[in-house]
Chains A and B, each alone.
Chain A
Amino acid sequence: MPNTIHIPTPLRPFTDKKEAVDVTGGTVGELLVDLTTRYEGLKKHLYTDEGKLRNFVNVYLNDEDIRYLQREQTPVKPGDSLSIVPSVAGGVPPEPEAKADDISPKPKAKADGVDPWR
């Protein structure tokens, strides 16, 4: 029986925009390997070149951090779900060069910018 992995928004471009992927395996590590086999592009976001899980990528089995279980060796049961929780700085993604553009030239509030229904 497959298990579900929840894919966070920043990684969905690599899973055909899917928010959840069904995978099979007996341990957390095997589920992740199945996932990155199906979606090759995810690999470098989850693993280092040495094949270790990157330490800014947190993986949860149900609501528990796998760092406090048996990490990738943690066994999974049918119905368990995995979540990848990457750090997200938030806000509008930075495009630093645009910063100056965003502010200047400063558009003035114009009469036609006012809500006509006000």
Chain B
Amino acid sequence: MAVTEAPKGAAVDADLPNLSPDEIKRYSRHLIMPEIGMDGQRRIKAGSVLCIGAGGLGSPAAMYLAAAGIGRLGIVDFDVVDFSNLQRQLLHGTSSVGMSKNESSKRRINDLNPHVQVDTYETLLNSDNALDLFKDYDVILDGTDNFPTRYLVNDACVLTGKPNAYGSIFRFEGQASVFATKDGPCYRCLYPEPPPPGLVPSCAEGGVLGVLPGVIGVIQATESLKLIAGIGEPLIGRFMIYDALKMSFRTLKLRKDPECPVCGTHPTVTKLIDYDQFCGIRPEPDLSQVAGATVNDWEITPVELKKKLDAGETPLILDVREPNEYQINRIAGSTLIPLGELPRRYQELPRDREIIAQCKMGGRSAKAMDFLKTVGFTNVKNLKGGILEWIDKVDPSQPKY
């Protein structure tokens, strides 16, 4: 089914599926609106959306699309429901913790609307399967959470000619757009290249407001429905930025870049590539396997730190997490300076004492250590595995997050 050119008030297409009396009752609030009506509802029933991910964005999107009467809903996920998902991933409930997200999604959607065909794919989307998966759907709904998959979804959408209902969330802020329509821009027109890993702060300012993916996921579902029903003005060539704290929506103009490597006039990307490599992600060498490997002199394990403290040494333990993380758990006697504040507060630290930098898992504190070395500190180590490993190996009395 063509999703962009369904004209308003077109003659009834004999190929569209009919609605049963049950369905007519169920969709009556759609049917009485002339913009949708019987024809529009039949188009929605003939339509299909593939949700990449059944998480924060995929949950509200899939549930509203199902309730609205989408004919077929595909879900690509390979994850298992965890307690920490329940704060925002409404497809899953307390009773589905430990269950596959696909199974849990299917259960919820079947209950919401048994007229919807749910097809789940228990797989990681990759360059080998994306084109095959996409070709049988009208709209692809990108609810992923990492750069390699974002670029993969975009390129596969351009190559298969499928529109991408895009959404992305971070803390209190969300973004949405429709990419890769015939004449509209794609994600690469906006961001030709991904940031190198580690440069965009993520770890230090983590978390997401539970209701935020609700807003953004529902925008993605709205755009999918509009494309399929052929109504309204889709979010093509526009980039929506939502700030939940300010409760503001801003819309920026997007243009199709004629130089775009995928959708431009002379594309250089004509098949799917290795997106991990493209995003600069390489498998980490397993140091323990390297012959003669010793513990680095810039790293200390929680057990070694405990020994040091027990022996009466007094290193300064520098916790570089955020204050709210510090409230959850901490190493007794540690000093809190969040990573972002370190550049202007490092003078508070003593230069004649050993410093052990520590965060949740060791990533941010490694950056802190690198920074301190650039400003002349010589006796700095990073706590391997962060507070989580400290709790696992030394102090199991504290909660983990």
Contacts and interface: CB of A to CB of B under 8 A. Distances in A.
Interface of A: 6, 8-14, 19, 40-41, 44-45, 54-56, 58, 60, 63-65, 68, 83, 85-95, 97-98, 101-103, 106-109, 113-115
Which are the 8 A-B pairs with shortest beta-carbon distances? Answer: A91-B145, A13-B340, A90-B168, A93-B202, A106-B98, A9-B173, A87-B191, A56-B195
Contacts of A14: 340
Interface stretch (B15-23, B30-38, B223-231, B244-252): B244-252
A88 B170 CA distance: 7
B94 interface: yes
A60 B251 CA distance: 11
Contact of B94 (A56, A95, A113): A113
A54 B193 CA distance: 10
Interface string B356-392: 0000111100000000000000000000010010000
B69 interface: no
Given A40-B343, A56-B194, A106-B98, A95 B168 contact: no
Nearest to A105: B98
A91 B146 contact: yes
A93 to B, nearest CB: 4
Contacts of B341: 13
B83 A89 contact: no
Interface residues of B, number: 66
| Residue from A41, A55, A89 with most neighbouring chain B CB atoms (10 Å) | A89
A40 B250 CA distance: 27
B145 A87 contact: no
Given A13-B340, A56-B194, A90 B57 contact: yes
A8 B202 contact: no
B24 interface: no
B206 A93 contact: yes
